[in-house]
Amino acid sequence: MSRVLSVLNRHAPSDSPAAGVQPSPPVRRTSRAWWRDARVLAGVALIVVSMLVGARLLAGSDDTVTAWQATRDLAPGAVVSPDDVVAVTIPATLAGAYAGGSGLPTSPLDRPLLAGEILPTPADVTPGDARWVTVPVEPLHAPVDLAPGERVDVWATEGADLGVVPVPELVLEGVLVSEVAVDGVGLGGEYGVVLEIDPSDAADLLAAARSGGIDLVRVPAVTR
């Protein structure tokens, strides 16, 4: 029986490696240092550049100021309202040439302003440079859509004598309209138009308004 077991053991398969064959060495994975990976370096460089650009933009924000940009065409003499402009930023070096964004100027424009233009610094006005006179105007003796900021020629027509056709006379040219009081209609249907004039023209305008009818003729705006 022992001989049979000895023979079986001799012919049974063995789990041990074949004689004379060396086992394969374990696979070793080499790890590359991250600072040698080109993709990692490119990503780090991109982050650094983005940080520098952001810091530059933040630092440059101190070099700008707020100004006003016109959203529509504005006539000379118009007083700018919040609906006429929008706040924008401009380089601080140009701050002296344009109206600051802390508040809208209260003085009328001294020239036409086109949509998209930056509101300029208000011109200095010396007290006594202008006078404001209200003249009565009958309906249909002025443009129906007359508005503040426009300019008009003032014509006066004296009362007609019997059998004499009155001849209109030019009193003032290119007068600035400051206000049109269409809500304040007088007994004869007249409404008041406030005109900004030179002090030396006040006597002529007042005399014309008292001696006859006033006609206002619109002067086309000339942009530059």
Instruction: Point out the domain boundary residue: 125, 141, 176.
Output: 125
**What one-letter code names the amino acid at 87?**
A
Q: Which residue has the higher pLDDT, 167 or 100?
A: 167
pLDDT single digits (tens) 100-128: 777 787 777 777 778 888 888 776 545 55
Q: Which residue has the higher pLDDT, 32 or 177?
A: 177
pLDDT single digits (tens) 8-19: 555 555 555 555
pLDDT single digits (tens) 57-68: 655 555 888 888
For 100, the domain range is 51-125
Residue partners of 95: CB distance under 8 A and separation at least 6: 65, 67
Percent of the chain predicted with pLDDT > 90: 15
Domain of 62, CATH number, reads: 3.90.1210
The answer to the question of residue 114 being in a domain is yes
Q: What gap in Å lies between CA 77 and CA 40, rounded to an integer?
A: 64
Please determine, for residue 175, whether its predicted confidence score (pLDDT) is greater than 80.
Answer: yes
**Dihedral angle, C-alpha 52, 56, 59, 63, nearest 10 °:** 180
Helix (H) or strand (E) holding 146: none
**pTM exceeds 0.95, yes or no:** no
Instruction: Point out the domain boundary residue: 76, 97, 125.
Output: 125
Instruction: Give yes or no: residues 141 and 206 share one domain.
Output: yes
The bridge status of strand 151-158 relative to strand 169-185 is antiparallel
Please determine, for residue 137, whether its predicted confidence score (pLDDT) is greater than 50.
Answer: yes
